[in-house]
Amino acid sequence: MRTIHGDAGPSRRRRHGSSPLMLFAGAVVVGSVSAIVVLAKRPGHRIAEGWLPWPEGERSFYVTEDRHEHGQCYEACAALSFQSAPACIGSDAAATFVANTVMADFTRRDYGYSGPYLWIGHYQWPNDRGAAVGWKPSTAGCDGSYSKWLPGEPDDLFAMQDCAAIDPNGGWRDEFCHRRYRCLCERGVLPGDDAVEEELSHLAGSGSASARRGLFGLLAYFVSCGGMTIDSA
C-alpha cells in the first residue's frame, strides 16, 4: 500500500522564512543606527577640532588664527562653527575658564605685534556719556551687568576706545575698535539683535557718537603713534 505524503512546501518555507523574533531584532538594529545618525547630525552635538569645551556653560571657546578689527570678529566667529559669535564673558565662572584654560593655551603661541590681548564680545554704545557708561555684550542672553575691568579701565583714551579686549589674566581693557587682535569666539551663542548695527553706526560716527569726537580721537591716536615711531627710530 502506497503512503501518500502531504505537501512539504509550507513547512520548508516556514523553516527558511523570517521569524517574528528575527524581524524584531532587525528593527532594533535599524532603529539604533538611525538614532545614532540623527544624534550625529544635531547642531552642537560634536565640537570641532580646536575648540576648548567649557562643560559648566555647555559651550566652547576658540581663538582665531588671524587678527581682526573688533567689528570683523562677528563674521570671523560665524565662519568657524554653527551658532558662534564673539565670546560672552558674563560670569566669574566664564572669566575663570577663559583665564585658566583658553588664555593658557593661547599664550603658548606667538603674540605678534598686537600683544597678548583678545577681542571679546563687549562694546560701548552710546559712547559719548563717559568712559564707563554704555558697555554691553555683543551676544544675545549674556549678562550685561557683569564686567572685569583692569584697574584704571575703561579710560576711553583719546575718546575713542569703545571695544573690550581681555588680557592673559582675564582682565578687561577698552581699546580702539580698529586695532587688530585675535578674536575670542564662543560656540553656542548668537549676536544680539542690535549689536552689529550699533557697532557699525558708532564706527561711522553716526547716532549718539558725534563726528567731532571720532575725528578728535583719530587725530590724537595717529599723532601719538607718530611720536612713538619717531622716538623709537
Q: Stretch 184-194: mean pLDDT, rounded? A: 91
Please tell me the predicted confidence (pLDDT) of residue 149.
97
Which backbone phi and psi does 172 adopt, to 5 degrees?
-100, 150
Please tell me the predicted confidence (pLDDT) of residue 30.
36
Nearest Cα neighbor of 119 from 70, 160, 78 is: 70
Please tell me the predicted confidence (pLDDT) of residue 12.
43
Q: Does position 41 have pLDDT exceeding 50, yes or no?
A: no
**Cα–Cα distances in angstroms (integers) from residue 218 to residues 42, 110, 134, 161, 182, in the given order:** 46, 28, 20, 10, 22
Compute how many other C-beta atoms are within 10 angstroms of the C-beta atom of residue 179. 18
- Domain residue spans of the chain: 52-232
Q: What gap in Å lies between CA 200 and CA 212, rounded to an integer?
A: 17
Write down the residue that cell numbers 554704545 correspond to: 125
Alpha helical stretches, state H, 2-152: 9-16, 20-41, 73-78, 92-97, 103-106
C-alpha cell read off for 76: 570671523
C-alpha cell read off for 183: 578674536
Q: Is residue 126 very low, low, confident or very high in pLDDT (cuts 50, 70, 90)?
A: confident
Q: Stretch 207-225: mean pLDDT, rounded? A: 50
Please tell me the predicted confidence (pLDDT) of residue 128.
84
C-alpha cell read off for 1: 500500500
| Candidate CATH numbers 1.10.10.60, 3.40.50.261, 3.10.100.10, 3.30.110.30; the one for domain 52-232 | 3.10.100.10
Q: What gap in Å lies between CA 145 and CA 143, rounded to an integer?
A: 6
Contact partners, residue 222, CB within 8 Å, separation at least 6: none
Secondary structure class of 141 (helix, strand, coil): coil
Of 100-104, 121-125, 143-147, 223-227, least confident by mean pLDDT is 223-227
Q: Is residue 217 very low, low, confident or very high in pLDDT (cuts 50, 70, 90)?
A: low
| Tens-place pLDDT, residues 61-118 | 999 989 999 999 999 999 998 899 999 999 999 999 999 999 888 776 666 666 789 9
Q: What gap in Å lies between CA 167 and CA 6, rounded to an integer?
A: 90
Question: What is the rounded average pLDDT for all residues in the chain?
Answer: 74
**Cα–Cα distances in angstroms (integers) from residue 209 to residues 33, 89, 135, 181, 204, in the given order:** 57, 25, 14, 23, 9
Instruction: Supply the pTM of this predicted model.
Output: 0.68
Q: Does position 48 have pLDDT exceeding 70, yes or no?
A: no
Q: Is residue 231 very low, low, confident or very high in pLDDT (cuts 50, 70, 90)?
A: very low
Q: Is residue 203 very low, low, confident or very high in pLDDT (cuts 50, 70, 90)?
A: low
Q: Is residue 160 very low, low, confident or very high in pLDDT (cuts 50, 70, 90)?
A: confident
